[in-house]
C-alpha cells in the first residue's frame, strides 16, 4: 500500500504498484489497470540499460552571456532546447537534462532500442542543423557567432527517475561522463563519437579517420571519430558471399518470376518471415540475378523511427528510380523533366516537392493532401508505363512503412500486371501492402 495514504503509487522492483489496491503495474502506468485510481506519484524504477548518450553544449557560452546579458541568453537557450527536444523525440530519444548552456539526451531508455547509436547520430546531426538555423538568427540580431559541440558515447548506464522530486528521467554512470568528454573535444559545429559508438554505427555512418585525443580524467589518449554524415542504411551489399543454402525452392520461384517480368509479365513478390530468416539475403540474390540480365535495381529502406513520417519510403524509392539520389538543385530538376517531358507543369512541381528538389522560387501548388497524393500517383504510374527497360524495385523492412507511402505503393502496384517492366519486392516480418500479382511468402 502507498505509505502516504494518498493513492499515488509506490516503487517496486518491477515498476510501480497502485497505492489504492496494491496491484503491480508497468513502469509507465498513469492509472491502475485494476481499480482505475490515478498514479500521481508513480516513478520509473532505475535499471541497467544499453544506451547512447548525447551531450550538446554551446561554444563560448560565457562570452555570449557577457555580450548579450542573462535575459537574452535565456531566450536563445530556450529556443535551442525546444528545437533540440523536437529532434531528440523524433528519433525516440529522451531529453535527460538541461545543463544551463547545453542538453543531455539518452537513446535506448526508458524504451530499449536496438539501433540506439544510429538514432543518436541522426539526432546529433539534426540538432546541429537546428543550431545552425538558430545561429543565423543570433548573428542577425546580436552580431555574435553561435555554435554547438556535440558528443556521443554508447554503453551501459543506470537509467531512471532521480529522487522523489520533479527531477525527471535521466542516466547515470561512467558512460555518461565519456559522452560529455566527447563533446568537450568536438570541433565547433561538429559531432564527435567515442570508439564504442563508432563501432555500433559502422556501415550506417560516414566517419572521419580515427584519432587519439586527450580527455579530462584519462591517463592515456582515447580513440574518437568525427561524424560526417549518415549513409543510406542497409544498402544491398555488393560482395562475394557464401553459397545460399536451404532456399532452393524460393530462389527457383523468384528467378522464374524475374524471367517472366523480363518477358513481359510483371509481378509482385512479398518476402515475409521472422527476423534472421534470410529475407535480405534472398533479396540480394535476386538483385544479383537481375543485373546481368540488364535489369536495373532500385532500393528503399523503411526504418522504425520514420514510420510516422509521411511519404518517407516512397520518396526514397522514387529518388533512386529517377536518378536524383546524388543530385541537388537544378541538375536534379533537369533529370526529372527529362524522364517525364509530357507531365503537367503543376504536377512536376508537386513531384519536385516530394523528392526534396524544389526550386525555392517556384513553390508547389497549394492543394489538399488527398488531391496531391492522387496527382503524384497518376504521374508516377504514367512514367512507369512509359518505361522501356525492365527494373526491380525493392522496399525493405516494409513493416515500418509510413501510412502514406503504403497507400501510394498500393496504387503503384496496380499497374504492374498491365506493364511488363515493373516488379516490387517488399520485405519484412510482415507485409501489409494490398498489391495484386504474384506473391512469394516466407513464414
On the CB side of 246, CA atoms within 13 Å amount to 5
Say whether both 52 and 41 belong to one domain.
no
Q: How many CB atoms lie within 10 A of CB 196?
A: 16
Say whether both 24 and 97 belong to one domain.
no
Say whether both 169 and 99 belong to one domain.
yes
Indicate the helix (H) or strand (E) that contains 288. Answer: helix 279-290
CATH number of the domain that 313 lies in? 3.40.50.300
Q: What is the pLDDT of residues 155-201, one digit of tens each?
A: 998 887 665 544 566 778 888 889 999 999 999 999 999 999 999 99
CATH number of the domain that 123 lies in? 3.30.70.1230
pLDDT at 78 over 50: yes
Indicate the helix (H) or strand (E) that contains 24. Answer: strand 24-25
Predicted pLDDT at 129: 93
Distance from C-alpha of 229 to C-alpha of 232, rounded to nearest angstrom:
10
Q: What is the dihedral of CA 259, 262, 264, 267, to 10 degrees?
A: 70
Q: Which residue blocks in 322-425 are alpha helix, DSSP H?
A: 329-339, 345-355, 369-386, 403-412
Say whether both 86 and 201 belong to one domain.
yes
pLDDT tier at 51 (50, 70, 90 boundaries)? very high
Say whether both 382 and 265 belong to one domain.
yes
Q: Which of 230, 256, 271 is the last residue of a domain?
A: 230
In a domain, 265, yes or no: yes
Q: How many CB atoms lie within 10 A of CB 52?
A: 33
pLDDT tier at 75 (50, 70, 90 boundaries)? very high
The mean-pLDDT minimum among 13-17, 134-138, 253-257 falls in 13-17
Predicted pLDDT at 54: 95
Distance from C-alpha of 392 to C-alpha of 289, rounded to nearest angstrom:
11
Indicate the helix (H) or strand (E) that contains 321. Answer: helix 312-321
In a domain, 351, yes or no: yes
Say whether both 262 and 192 belong to one domain.
no
Q: What is the pLDDT of residues 272-288, one digit of tens each?
A: 877 666 777 777 788 88
Angle between helices 345-355 and 329-339 in degrees, nearest 10 = 130
Stretch 143-166: mean pLDDT, rounded? 82
Say whether both 315 and 178 belong to one domain.
no
In a domain, 416, yes or no: yes
Predicted pLDDT at 105: 92
In a domain, 364, yes or no: yes
**Which residue has better confidence, 223 or 291?**
223
pLDDT at 443 over 70: no
Predicted pLDDT at 209: 93
Say whether both 200 and 292 belong to one domain.
no
Say whether both 36 and 57 belong to one domain.
no
**Which residue has better confidence, 226 or 269?**
226
Q: What is the pLDDT of residues 403-437, one digit of tens each?
A: 888 888 888 877 766 554 444 444 444 333 333 23
Q: Which domain holds residue 7?
A: 1-45
Look at the chain and count its residues.
Answer: 443
Distance from C-alpha of 121 to C-alpha of 198, rounded to nearest angstrom:
10
Q: What is the mean pLDDT of the chain?
A: 78
Helix/strand/coil (H/E/C) assignment for every residue in 87-102:
HHHHCCCEEEEECCCE
In a domain, 235, yes or no: no
In a domain, 129, yes or no: yes
Please give the DSSP secondary-structure letter assigned to residue 439.
-
Angle (CA) 307 114 202, round 5°: 100
Read off the pTM: 0.59
Q: What is the pLDDT of residues 311-364, one digit of tens each?
A: 888 898 899 888 888 777 889 999 999 988 888 889 999 989 888 888 888 877
Preceding amide of 110 cis, omega within 30: yes
Say whether both 41 and 54 belong to one domain.
no
Stretch 89-118: mean pLDDT, rounded? 85
Say whether both 410 and 272 belong to one domain.
yes
Q: How many domains does the chain have?
A: 3
Q: Which phi and psi (to 5°) does residue 130 adopt?
A: -65, -40
Say whether both 61 and 201 belong to one domain.
yes
Amino acid at each position: 500500500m502507498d505509505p502516504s495514504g494518498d493513492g499515488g503509487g509506490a516503487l517496486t522492483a518491477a515498476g510501480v504498484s497502485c497505492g489504492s489496491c496494491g496491484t503491480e503495474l508497468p513502469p509507465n502506468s498513469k492509472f491502475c489497470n485494476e481499480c482505475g485510481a490515478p498514479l500521481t506519484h508513480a516513478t520509473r524504477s532505475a535499471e541497467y540499460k544499453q544506451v547512447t548518450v548525447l551531450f550538446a553544449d554551446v561554444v563560448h557560452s560565457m562570452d555570449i552571456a557577457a555580450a548579450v546579458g542573462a535575459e537574452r541568453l535565456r531566450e536563445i537557450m530556450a529556443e535551442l532546447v525546444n528545437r533540440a527536444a523536437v529532434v531528440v523525440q523524433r528519433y525516440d530519444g529522451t531529453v535527460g537534462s538541461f545543463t544551463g548552456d547545453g542538453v543531455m539526451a539518452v537513446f535506448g531508455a526508458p524504451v530499449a532500442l536496438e539501433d540506439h547509436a544510429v538514432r543518436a547520430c541522426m539526432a546529433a546531426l539534426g540538432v546541429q542543423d537546428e543550431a545552425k538555423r538558430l545561429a543565423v538568427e543570433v548573428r542577425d540580431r546580436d552580431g555574435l557567432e553561435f555554435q554547438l559541440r556535440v558528443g556521443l558515447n554508447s554503453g551501459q548506464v543506470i537509467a531512471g527517475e532521480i529522487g522523489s522530486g520533479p527531477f525527471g528521467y535521466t542516466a547515470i554512470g561512467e558512460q555518461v561522463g565519456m559522452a560529455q568528454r566527447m563533446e568537450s573535444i568536438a570541433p565547433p559545429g561538429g559531432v564527435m563519437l567515442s570508439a564504442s559508438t563508432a563501432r555500433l554505427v559502422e556501415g550506417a555512418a560516414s566517419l572521419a579517420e580515427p584519432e587519439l585525443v586527450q580527455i579530462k580524467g584519462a591517463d592515456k589518449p582515447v580513440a574518437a571519430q568525427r561524424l560526417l554524415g549518415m549513409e543510406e542504411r542497409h544498402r544491398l551489399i555488393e560482395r562475394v558471399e557464401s553459397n545460399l543454402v536451404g532456399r532452393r525452392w524460393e530462389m527457383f520461384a523468384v528467378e522464374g518470376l524475374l524471367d517472366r517480368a523480363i518477358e513481359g509479365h510483371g509481378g509482385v513478390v512479398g518476402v515475409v518471415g521472422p527476423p534472421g530468416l534470410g529475407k535480405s539475403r534472398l533479396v540480394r540474390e535476386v538483385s544479383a540475378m537481375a543485373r546481368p540480365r540488364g535489369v536495373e535495381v532500385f532500393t528503399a529502406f523503411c526504418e522504425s523511427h520514420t514510420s510516422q513520417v509521411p511519404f518517407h519510403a516512397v520518396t526514397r524509392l522514387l529518388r533512386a528510380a529517377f536518378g536524383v539520389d546524388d543530385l541537388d538543385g537544378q541538375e536534379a530538376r533537369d533529370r526529372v523533366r527529362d524522364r517525364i517531358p509530357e507531365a503537367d507543369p503543376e504536377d512536376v512541381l508537386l513531384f519536385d516537392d516530394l523528392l526534396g528538389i524544389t526550386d525555392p522560387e517556384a513553390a508547389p501548388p497549394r492543394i489538399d493532401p488527398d488531391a496531391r497524393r492522387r496527382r503524384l500517383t497518376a504521374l508516377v504510374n504514367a512514367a512507369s508505363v512509359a518505361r522501356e527497360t525492365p527494373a526491380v524495385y525493392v522496399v525493405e523492412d516494409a513493416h515500418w512503412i509510413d501510412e502514406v507511402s503504403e497507400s501510394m505503393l498500393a496504387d503503384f502496384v496496380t499497374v504492374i500486371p498491365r506493364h511488363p517492366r515493373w516488379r516490387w519486392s517488399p520485405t519484412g516480418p510482415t507485409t501489409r501492402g494490398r498489391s495484386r500479382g504474384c506473391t512469394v511468402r516466407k513464414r
